[in-house]
Structure 1
Amino acid sequence: MLPLPEATHRTVTLPAGAVLLRRGTHSDVIYHVGDGRLALGLLGREGLAHQLGWLEGPCWLDPGSAVLGLEPLMDVVTDSAVELQAVPLAEFSASLDALPSPTQSLLRDLARAHRQQAELAVSRLGKDAEARCAEWLLRQVEPITSAEVPPSLTLRERKRAIAAQLGIAPETFSRVLRQLRERRLISGKGRQLSLINIDGLRALAGA
């Protein structure tokens, strides 16, 4: 439905770790990613402090903001080498204006719905990483049937996938697990964990 960039736009390759979008910052271009993987979230001092999702090319990067004339809600960082083209926003908007009116209306409706979901996801970050991890751990073992035997669980997904569910970076997830061990709320290493202080985890999760 969205127009593809002209072949005349130069393709560049960026390494992993490059910041493509900064939330709340206006840009005069929109990027079309031909190949590569991108991480979406909120930047901290050392990269993404909170991670909210992934994108893989080929795709337009944050087309909803361009359709609605708004600034990005999230920061976007390359997670691998990425091939992309920078298209002037005015050119992209002109291509949209050439589409039939019903198609333009549909695009705006889809963009608004996606924006609302993104705003909700960003607002969830008001709960800090430790609270979200504690809440997630408790959900994995409920219902808790015995106070004498600490409930245990096996991390069946990769830490990267779990971190994405929680909206944090994989490094943050690993750090929080280490902190929970140091505070004697959980025990275990690797994929095997025991929740040794249920009340403490509940308090941390705000339950």
Structure 2
Amino acid sequence: MTLRPTQACQHCTLRQLCLPMGLPQDELWQLDQIVQQRRPIAKGAPLFTMGTKFEALYAVRTGALKTVLISDDGTEQITGFALAGDLLGLDAIHSGKHPVSAIALESTSVCAVPYGHVDDLAGRLPTFRQHMMSVMSQELAQDESLHALLGQRTAEQRLATFLIALSERHRARGLSPERFYLPMSRADIANHLGLTQETISRLFTQLRNQGVINLHTRDLEILQPDGLRNTAGVTFTSAASSA
């Protein structure tokens, strides 16, 4: 896939999500020089595939992707969903190979930052280094939190937890936490939560009949946020993110 150099960071609407607020102008300028914007990824196409060499970190500009782990017998497990403003590739730093595949759920555009340059910048720019450490720490905390939340919970609690986490991710982006589009299918949600598609469809209908949500195709409106939290049986803060 062809890469095009771009001075995207200084004018990108997602700057505050991908970069630390208050990044010195000289550090931002140096980062701008290495950021490359990939051509749009078509729905169903991979950004990268499991086992391939790790070469860059990716920031999602528009669209959404799912990360998929493929077992030895070919079974696919969706490990997460990346939305605009999210970073992908951090989990490949240790081994040098991507442990999962990233597949576009819709037409998606990303910025690529070659990791060799990232490592060099992190060594020279203290603000950028602190931000990267913070992002990696947050990724670990989010994964551990979500696994703990979903581990021993009922099917209804799992779906409610998933929707609340998505809501908080939209809140963090300055978007409506109560009205948003679901880029993933019911089958994808079911796979991610360890449930069947029929169960997910039934639970959506149940929540809608209870007046907790309104769902038209993939346009979701949370009518009773407190009711959804009660269903989940957990407490979320505005920092909650990954789903």
TM-score scaled to structure 2, two decimals?
Answer: 0.44
Query: Whose Rg is larger?
Result: 1
Q: TM-score, normalised by structure 1?
A: 0.49
